[in-house]
Chains A and B, each alone.
Chain A
């Protein structure tokens, strides 16, 4: 394995880079498109791309869950949200804030800093994605989950329940006469 080199990429690496370019491009469209529905649809591409990247990294089970939950459920949630808030379906000029330059600066700065730090730390590191295949299968991941991570798993189920209750409580339509905006005296009068 001492023959690693940027100049002789393996097939997996080439596939990873190509899919990565798709992911980045669709991600860029997600945050820049003027049309919100289009942005949401490009988000599906992005999520799916990330699922493929998981596969290439040997995390098979995670990849399917990513496609199922993100590519399916979350995007549907977003589309529902768009519809419920009567968001403009077509292009909207007011989608971005007035002064974008600070955000661009922060984004580029973050990218620069993270890439610099990562490159400095890992420029001589190679790993074999096949080694993770055993762990990444549904059997391996299930064993790890219920062998070592049972307690966080249970805590997470409580968290999900709380989120469920919270979402219901927040989105429950309030009746007209019990709003906090009105005083009881005024209601009687």
Chain B
């Protein structure tokens, strides 16, 4: 089983290499970008099936030693890893087959497809890694791939800026993350995930709070949480399938996955959990409000991703590990679906702007249907999967007791309000895209402008789990057992109690009320004027602020960019006037010395000979003296 997992993560890497090597032959690229990932998907499914419920299985090979630590590579399959891997492989396969027609004609399609394959391999490495170092390698390779993929349209200034921003912001989190991993490995005496979790369970870490805080920084960067969130909306400059891959399944999910993986460490640090809850609350509500104000379809979806990731982080903050992982998987499917469907629409309409769309429900029925399913799931309407995911998290927050009580209250309040806002922006998006009048050609409602089969089939395939994954909740605590209980696989610290995902009465009632309220408000404003954006009257004067994402980038510019620029100026000044002075000084000094020494070159042979004999004399005298003394 571990070998199969290893093969599954090597297959996309192999496919990537072959795609890179194969040049621009379109059929070659299409085959080698999809087939290995399809095989990897089969592999991950087989791993998940053979893994069954509970327990972990680790298999490593020692490849060398560094100091007192053995470097071992290998795979570690747990319920969490198996399920996440299936999600990653499935979304990656959909994205790759979708891209064959979406980007198939572009000149840089080959490198793009190869990078996606590499990205997938890196994410599978993170998921299946048996030790933290290998995990970190996958983690950073993903960061590099996302840099390249976001900057795919590098001719455009905005894409270049977005890719650099994404890279810098995630790396800003990765620096403390690296220190956290090292501290964790040193304190646990091993970098093996297995040993680390065991020592965390045994409460053997001396400073779990610091470690958890450092790790949390990396998670915030990778999963785009406040205050390192603003790269994600900008990352929409990349191609739409990339948005689906980054925002749904891989990069942003890696942060949540890491917290879930090392959950025993975080449980030891209740203060960090409170911080996590506060951050989650701020992010989910703020991002949802921003999504409500945006006019760009992809930015709406991006902010909704940030908001949903905050839900997951909130779930983790209130001891809802299984619930958060459940939401992660469900969200992965329906958000990939949303991005790919939005991509279909954007491609046909030729614009990202919501105001340029409308009335598309007859012209693009497949996109309409699948997107409806996705948006309903996002809004949390029963019985779609998103409803169960959100309710599970809210239920966990409601039921949180003991040291989780404080974060529970925070997450519960923010989550309920966010549920209403989420429903509002989902409905606004749905109405704006598919209903109302089409701005440019109001009389062409009957003509279909459907996308090719290769783009539609992934939509349909993704719509099925997005709609039906809620069925998991029917099995009660089954999912929880597969994922490994409340606090990691062994879970001995808090007792391995499995959690029921079935929504509780109180929170469901409240959240449904909020959903109805939010959606109703938007609907009322929309009814008044179907052509106009319902967000304009709804948000009023706040709209401009939200459109800029609370002017967060300006704040960063003030707090980070300008001091850094000033420091850079200072360094440049020091370099020119202090460091270079020594360099210039050495040149001038050597020249001066040369001028002095040149005066010795008189050209008189006898003078040279005198110098020579003087030297010989000194040497002979010294030699004679030394010989006499000794």
Inter-chain contact B628/A120, CB cutoff 8 Å = yes
Contacts of A97 in B (CB 8 A): 604, 606
A184 at the interface (CB under 8 A from B): no
Contacts of A113 in B (CB 8 A): 617, 620-621, 624
Of B610, B621, B628, the residue contacting A102 (CB under 8 A) is B610
Contacts of B604 in A (CB 8 A): 97
A117 at the interface (CB under 8 A from B): yes
Closest residue of chain B to A114 (Cβ to Cβ) is B620
Min distance, Cβ B617 to any Cβ of chain A, angstroms: 5
- Report A56-111 residues with CB < 8 Å from chain B CB: 97, 102-103, 105-106, 109-110
A125 at the interface (CB under 8 A from B): no
Cα(A105)–Cα(B615), bound, Å = 12
Interface size on A, residues (CB 8 A): 11
Cα(A16)–Cα(B91), bound, Å = 114
Contacts of B617 in A (CB 8 A): 106, 109-110, 113
A188 at the interface (CB under 8 A from B): no
Inter-chain contact B613/A110, CB cutoff 8 Å = yes
Contacts of B613 in A (CB 8 A): 106, 110
Cα(A109)–Cα(B615), bound, Å = 11
B558 at the interface (CB under 8 A from A): no
A123 at the interface (CB under 8 A from B): no
Inter-chain contact A102/B614, CB cutoff 8 Å = yes
Contact with A along B364-392 (1 / 0, CB 8 A): 00000000000000000000000000000
Cα(A113)–Cα(B614), bound, Å = 12
Inter-chain contact A109/B610, CB cutoff 8 Å = no
Contacts of A103 in B (CB 8 A): 606, 610
Closest residue of chain B to A117 (Cβ to Cβ) is B624
Contact with A along B593-630 (1 / 0, CB 8 A): 00000000000101100100110010011001000100
Min distance, Cβ A34 to any Cβ of chain B, angstroms: 18
Cα(A109)–Cα(B616), bound, Å = 10
A116 at the interface (CB under 8 A from B): yes
Contacts of A110 in B (CB 8 A): 613, 617
Min distance, Cβ A74 to any Cβ of chain B, angstroms: 22
Min distance, Cβ A7 to any Cβ of chain B, angstroms: 26
Contacts of A116 in B (CB 8 A): 624
Contacts of A105 in B (CB 8 A): 614
Cα(A97)–Cα(B624), bound, Å = 30
Closest residue of chain A to B627 (Cβ to Cβ) is A117
Contacts of A120 in B (CB 8 A): 628
Interface size on B, residues (CB 8 A): 11
Contacts of B624 in A (CB 8 A): 113, 116-117
- Report A106-148 residues with CB < 8 Å from chain B CB: 106, 109-110, 113, 116-117, 120
Min distance, Cβ A63 to any Cβ of chain B, angstroms: 31
Min distance, Cβ A140 to any Cβ of chain B, angstroms: 35
Q: With A113-B621, A116-B624, A117-B624 known to touch, is A106 a contact of B614 (CB < 8 Å)?
A: yes
Closest residue of chain B to A102 (Cβ to Cβ) is B610
Closest residue of chain A to B628 (Cβ to Cβ) is A120
Min distance, Cβ A54 to any Cβ of chain B, angstroms: 27
Closest residue of chain A to B624 (Cβ to Cβ) is A117
Min distance, Cβ A73 to any Cβ of chain B, angstroms: 27
Min distance, Cβ B72 to any Cβ of chain A, angstroms: 71
Cα(A109)–Cα(B604), bound, Å = 22
Cα(A106)–Cα(B613), bound, Å = 7
Contacts of B628 in A (CB 8 A): 120
Cα(A106)–Cα(B609), bound, Å = 10
Contacts of A102 in B (CB 8 A): 607, 610, 614
Min distance, Cβ A36 to any Cβ of chain B, angstroms: 17
Min distance, Cβ B250 to any Cβ of chain A, angstroms: 81
Inter-chain contact B606/A109, CB cutoff 8 Å = no
Min distance, Cβ A112 to any Cβ of chain B, angstroms: 8
Contacts of B614 in A (CB 8 A): 102, 105-106, 109
Contacts of B606 in A (CB 8 A): 97, 103
Closest residue of chain B to A109 (Cβ to Cβ) is B617
- Report B560-615 residues with CB < 8 Å from chain A CB: 604, 606-607, 610, 613-614
Closest residue of chain B to A101 (Cβ to Cβ) is B610
Min distance, Cβ A31 to any Cβ of chain B, angstroms: 13
Min distance, Cβ A167 to any Cβ of chain B, angstroms: 21
Cα(A113)–Cα(B622), bound, Å = 10
Cα(A117)–Cα(B604), bound, Å = 31
Min distance, Cβ A162 to any Cβ of chain B, angstroms: 24
Cα(A120)–Cα(B617), bound, Å = 18
Closest residue of chain A to B610 (Cβ to Cβ) is A102
Contacts of B607 in A (CB 8 A): 102
Min distance, Cβ A120 to any Cβ of chain B, angstroms: 6
Contacts of B621 in A (CB 8 A): 109, 113
Cα(A102)–Cα(B600), bound, Å = 14
Min distance, Cβ A64 to any Cβ of chain B, angstroms: 34
Contacts of A106 in B (CB 8 A): 610, 613-614, 617
Cα(A103)–Cα(B613), bound, Å = 9
Closest residue of chain B to A105 (Cβ to Cβ) is B614
Min distance, Cβ A122 to any Cβ of chain B, angstroms: 14
Min distance, Cβ B258 to any Cβ of chain A, angstroms: 80
Min distance, Cβ B612 to any Cβ of chain A, angstroms: 9
Cα(A97)–Cα(B607), bound, Å = 9
Min distance, Cβ A86 to any Cβ of chain B, angstroms: 22
Closest residue of chain B to A99 (Cβ to Cβ) is B607
Closest residue of chain B to A116 (Cβ to Cβ) is B624
Cα(A113)–Cα(B624), bound, Å = 8
- Report B217-271 residues with CB < 8 Å from chain A CB: none
Cα(A106)–Cα(B620), bound, Å = 12
Cα(A80)–Cα(B614), bound, Å = 33
Cα(A105)–Cα(B621), bound, Å = 13
Contacts of B610 in A (CB 8 A): 102-103, 106
Closest residue of chain B to A112 (Cβ to Cβ) is B621
| Other A-B pairs, 14, CB within 8 Å; known A116-B624, A120-B628 | A97-B606, A102-B610, A102-B614, A105-B614, A106-B610, A106-B613, A106-B617, A109-B614, A109-B617, A110-B613, A113-B617, A113-B620, A113-B621, A117-B624
**B contact residues vs A (CB 8 Å cutoff):** 604, 606-607, 610, 613-614, 617, 620-621, 624, 628
Q: List 22 A-B residue pairs with CB atoms under 8 Å apart, sorted by A's residue number.
A: A97-B604, A102-B607, A102-B610, A102-B614, A103-B610, A105-B614, A106-B610, A106-B613, A106-B614, A106-B617, A109-B614, A109-B617, A109-B621, A110-B613, A110-B617, A113-B617, A113-B620, A113-B621, A113-B624, A116-B624, A117-B624, A120-B628
Q: Closest 10 A-B residue pairs measured CB to CB?
A: A109-B617, A102-B610, A106-B613, A117-B624, A113-B621, A113-B620, A106-B614, A106-B610, A110-B617, A103-B610
